[in-house]
Amino acid sequence: MTETRPSWDEYFMSITEMVAQRATCLRRKVGAILVRDKRIIATGYNGAPAKVSHCLDIGCLREQQGIPSGERHELCRGLHAEQNAIIQAALHGFSVEGATLYCTNMPCAICSKMLINARIEKIYYKEGYADSLSSLLLAEAKVPVVQLG
């Protein structure tokens, strides 16, 4: 009997989906991992900063103010999963240069700019996101972006 093993991309995306389950956002649960040489160097999920109340506990500022998804990112208590992955790598002394990002969602424009400057080599994502500028920025910076089913 032969067993089928997941590809590396399937493997890392499945881990990303598990990371997303830690998210504290009421609107969507997003997970991200940074991988280099088939080794996970950092994980992140969306939620409020350490020592700050989570939306799960006090409600969503964006919902209260009627802010649509993909707009006014600064009006949110939470950090995005990609931001938290970059921060975790920095806190623990790991360079992310040359890493690959796996994310449950396509990065927004703010995260895309951070990923470009962090020298992320490639991005894999599962679901889209309502932010067309991110695709334009990543294409101009020649960062390959691949949607995984």
Q: Are 5 and 72 in contact (CB under 8 A)?
A: no
111 labelled ligand-binding: yes
In degrees rounded to 5, what are phi and psi of residue 31? -125, 150
55 labelled ligand-binding: no
25 labelled ligand-binding: no
Q: Are 3 and 33 in contact (CB under 8 A)?
A: no
Q: Take residue 22 and report the two structure tokens written for it.
A: 């830690």
Contacts of 138 (CB under 8 A, 6+ apart): 107, 112, 115, 116, 123, 145
Closest CA to 39 of 85, 100, 109: 100
Determine whether 82 is an active site residue: yes
Q: Which of 3, 82, 97, 121 is catalytic?
A: 82
Residues annotated within a binding site for Zn(2+): 80, 108, 111
Residues annotated within a binding site: 80, 108, 111
What residues are annotated to the active site? 82
